Structure 1
Amino acid sequence: MKGYKRQDGRIGIRNHVAVIYTVECAHHVADMIARSVPGAEVFGFGGCYSDPYAFKMLVELGKHPNVAGVIVVRLGCESTNVDLLVEQIRMSGKRVELINIQQTGGTIASIERGKAYAMEMVYHSQQTQMVDISLGDLIIGVECGGSDATSGISANPATGWAVDRLIEQGATVIFSELPELLGCNDYLLERPTTDATKQQLLDGLKRANELGNILKAFAISTGNEKGGLTTIEEKSLGALCKAGTKPIDGILKTGQKPVAPGLYLLDKVGILDSQLVTHYEENDSDGLVSLIASGAHIILFTTGRGSVVGSVVSPVIKVCGNPETGRRMSDNMDIKAGSIIEGTATIEQVGQDIVDLITQVAGGKLTRAELLGHREYAIPYKPSRACDVV
């Protein structure tokens, strides 16, 4: 495999130019810049008022090793500290250019300037020397969405088998979704490698349970129920399978990076307050962005009912556990784990297919989501108290 070695020493597997808008008023200009230049992609934060969580997400996505250069597009009167944003992304060694729409002269002038920057950055990114990389250079995120009764007996166990093999070959894996792991406490608490990690995990599970009580809803949806899941415990046991069997080496907060290879759990549940309940995961795209902000080069996304989701910065590999869904949504699925249920493949065989595809995607092969142009993302407002933890 070949990858891109960045100035901060990290390895990238994609070479994107990121066009980041810092308020919704700048979204259209940023979007037009990205659409005009192949190799550029757009994302950002729509809020006018400063938000610590969103700021952290923009910084970490901009610094991500899958990004070669960054263009920040602001309107000029938003409350976000855009100069600090630019400064912190530049600390990764990347070229960062700032466009202030109000000062540049409006839409047309800003788009033209942004296109010029983007074309220069794409050209220079293509000159970046590639280096040999291995699985040990990769961080893999694991997420699920649209789960059904097949997920826990096909897609998730096969992904868990792959996770174990990846870790054995030196990779780093991050799983998350604490609210969706309630009911698995006894199994989870056997796996931390230290007492401190165990206590962090216990605290996170407690907050996840409190969050469910505050919201009067736990992490099981109508779609999950229609797919045959009946309780959060049933869903949780199936979801846990995708994290494999290895010990948990550490607990991360959003934006934190693993310090060494191994298995990590990302705790995204904020400090709870009955008056501040917007710090839960709003959707799958929110969850994917959190994993990418913690350094994930690739995301493994398991589903039973079906999903079309991709993301910005890092490719998403979708593993479908339901054979009927796999046939009905074949355009969107990278791995059809429903073959396990139909008896035409084993968990180990599908797991090896996942490992092989990760190697190919890290080497440049495009996922189905990338080919179809799926670049979903969500960076919502989250209260400042949530940022004390996430």
Structure 2
Amino acid sequence: MIGYKRANGTIGIRNHVAVIHSVKCSEHVARKITQKVSGTQHFGYDSCYPDPYAYRVLAEMVKHPNIASVLVIKLGCESLPVDKLVKELIAIGKTVEVLIIQRTGGTQKTIEQGILIAEKLVLAANQAEKVTIGFEDLIIGLECGGSDATSGLTANPATGWASDRLVELGCKVILSELPELLGTDHYLLEKAKNPQVREKLKDGLLRANQLGNALKTFAVSAGNEHSGLTTIEEKSLGAMCKAGSKEITDVIKTGEFPTQAGLYILDKVGSIDNNQLTVYEESDSEGFAALIATGAHIVIFTTGCGSVAGNVVTPIIKICGNPRTIAIMGDDIDVDASSIISSNESIDVIGQQLVDKVEEIASGVLCRAEALGHEEYHILRKFSRACDVNY
């Protein structure tokens, strides 16, 4: 596998130049720049108001080693602390440029200057040092979306098998979606590496349950129910299969990073000890963003009903085990696990295919979402909830 060595010693498997907007008002200008300059990716923060969680997600996305350099497009009167962001980027040796629309001369002049700057950044990125990397250099995120009755029988257990192998190969693997593990408490707690990790799991599961009750909604969608998953417990038992059999090394928050090979749980539930309750995750794309903000080079995304989502920073490897979904939208799927049902293929065979796919994508081959041009992102505002992140 070949990666890109960054100034702070981290390794990326993609070499994007990020053009980001710091408020919704500057989105159009940033998007126009990326449309004109190959090698750039566009994303950003929409709100006029600051938010600690959203800032940390945005900051870690642009600091991610899959990003070579950054161009920030400001309007000029927004509240996002761009100066703080610039300092964080400079501190890790990442090149960053800023254009302020209110000072540059409006839309067209900012687009023109932005194109020139972005072209220079792409040329510089193309000179990045390429190095041979191993599995020990990779952080892998695990997420599911559009789950159905086949997920817990096919894609999820195959992902669990792959997760075990990836950990053995030296990867740091992060399982997201703590609220989608409700009802599996005793299984999870048995997997905890030590009493401290067990207490973190108990605390996170308690908050996830409290949040669901407070909002009167749990992580079961209409699509899940229509496709055979009628309770959070049914969905959780299938989702837990993604974790494989390895012990849980630690529980981490958004913006924290795994430190050694092992299986980690991402806890982004937050605290409910205030009056600003919000869901822990609004979309699959928001889930990807949290994993990327926790260092994921690649996200393995299991789906039963089908999904098309990709990401602007990190490749999304989709695996599906529903034969009907594969027949309808197989072009969006990276690993077909439907043979587990249709021809009694073993889980370990499909799991090995997934491990091979990780190696292939980490070597520079495009995943299906990348090849089809998917560039989704979703940065969720979560207000000032004490349990999420430090500003």
Is residue 2:311 matched to residue 1:336?
Answer: no
Further displaced range: 322-331 or 267-276: 267-276
Task: For structure 1, list consecutive stretches of 5 or more residues without a partner in the other structure.
Answer: none
Task: Give the corresponding residue for 2:303.
Answer: 303
Task: For structure 2, list consecutive stretches of 5 or more residues without a partner in the other structure.
Answer: none
Q: Partners of 1:107 and 1:38 in 2: how far apart?
A: 20
Correspondence 1:99-114 to 2 at 5 A? 99-114=99-114
Task: Give the corresponding residue for 1:150.
Answer: 150
3-state SS of the aligned residue for 1:147?
A: coil
State the shift of 1:344 in Å: 4.9
Q: Partners of 1:270 and 1:134 in 2: how far apart?
A: 34
Q: What is the identity, as a one-letter code, of the residue corresponding to 2:142?
A: V
- Please report the TM-score for the alignment, with normalisation by the length of structure 1: 0.98
Q: What is the identity, as a one-letter code, of the residue corresponding to 1:369?
A: A
Q: What is the identity, as a one-letter code, of the residue corresponding to 2:280?
A: Y
Q: Partners of 2:185 and 2:137 in 1: how far apart?
A: 31
Task: Give the corresponding residue for 2:62.
Answer: 62
State the shift of 1:109 in Å: 1.0
Task: Give the corresponding residue for 1:171.
Answer: 171
Correspondence 1:310-349 to 2 at 5 A? 310-349=310-349
> Contact 2:252–2:258 at 8 Å: present in 1 too?
yes
> Contact 2:184–2:237 at 8 Å: present in 1 too?
yes
> Contact 1:271–1:389 at 8 Å: present in 2 too?
no
State the shift of 1:275 in Å: 2.3
Correspondence 1:47-126 to 2 at 5 A? 47-126=47-126
Correspondence 1:244-255 to 2 at 5 A? 244-255=244-255
State the shift of 1:217 in Å: 1.1
Task: Give the corresponding residue for 2:195.
Answer: 195
3-state SS of the aligned residue for 1:246?
A: coil
State the shift of 1:273 in Å: 3.8
Task: Give the corresponding residue for 2:137.
Answer: 137
State the shift of 1:129 in Å: 2.0
State the shift of 1:279 in Å: 4.7
Q: Partners of 1:54 and 1:89 in 2: how far apart?
A: 17
Q: Partners of 1:155 and 1:59 in 2: how far apart?
A: 32
Q: Partners of 2:374 and 2:171 in 1: how far apart?
A: 26
Q: Partners of 2:90 and 2:129 in 1: how far apart?
A: 20
Q: How many residues align?
A: 390
Correspondence 1:238-387 to 2 at 5 A? 238-273=238-273, 275-386=275-386
Q: What is the identity, as a one-letter code, of the residue corresponding to 2:348?
A: E
3-state SS of the aligned residue for 1:206?
A: helix
> Contact 2:150–2:322 at 8 Å: present in 1 too?
yes
Q: Partners of 1:171 and 1:383 in 2: how far apart?
A: 33
Deviation track 1:221-269 (CA, whole Å, cap 9, x = no partner) reads 1100111112111110000001111001111100101111111100000
Q: Partners of 2:18 and 2:184 in 1: how far apart?
A: 39
State the shift of 1:121 in Å: 1.1
State the shift of 1:301 in Å: 0.2
Query: Percent identity between the aligned chains?
Result: 57
> Contact 2:52–2:389 at 8 Å: present in 1 too?
no
Q: What is the identity, as a one-letter code, of the residue corresponding to 2:203?
A: D
Q: What is the identity, as a one-letter code, of the residue corresponding to 1:190?
A: E
State the shift of 1:380 in Å: 2.2
State the shift of 1:128 in Å: 1.4
Q: What is the identity, as a one-letter code, of the residue corresponding to 1:2?
A: I
Q: What is the identity, as a one-letter code, of the residue corresponding to 1:49?
A: Y
State the shift of 1:386 in Å: 4.8
3-state SS of the aligned residue for 2:191?
A: coil
- Please report the TM-score for the alignment, with normalisation by the length of structure 2: 0.98
3-state SS of the aligned residue for 1:76?
A: coil
Q: Partners of 2:270 and 2:317 in 1: how far apart?
A: 28
Change (3 A) 1:28 1:15: same
Task: Give the corresponding residue for 1:41.
Answer: 41
Change (3 A) 1:136 1:388: closer
Q: What is the identity, as a one-letter code, of the residue corresponding to 1:136?
A: E
Q: What is the identity, as a one-letter code, of the residue corresponding to 1:60?
A: E
3-state SS of the aligned residue for 2:275?
A: coil
> Contact 2:56–2:389 at 8 Å: present in 1 too?
no
4+ aligned runs moved over 4 Å, structure 1: 386-390
Task: Give the corresponding residue for 1:32.
Answer: 32
State the shift of 1:387 in Å: 5.4
Q: Partners of 1:101 and 1:22 in 2: how far apart?
A: 11
Deviation track 1:327-386 (CA, whole Å, cap 9, x = no partner) reads 101111111111101125211110010000100000000011001111111112211125
Q: Partners of 2:345 and 2:156 in 1: how far apart?
A: 15
Q: Partners of 2:388 and 2:368 in 1: how far apart?
A: 36
RMSD: 1.1
3-state SS of the aligned residue for 2:159?
A: helix
Q: Partners of 1:220 and 1:364 in 2: how far apart?
A: 35
State the shift of 1:80 in Å: 1.4
3-state SS of the aligned residue for 1:189?
A: helix
Deviation track 1:147-177 (CA, whole Å, cap 9, x = no partner) reads 0000000000000000000000111100010
3-state SS of the aligned residue for 1:32?
A: helix
Q: Partners of 1:377 and 1:35 in 2: how far apart?
A: 16
Change (3 A) 1:101 1:285: same
3-state SS of the aligned residue for 1:152?
A: coil
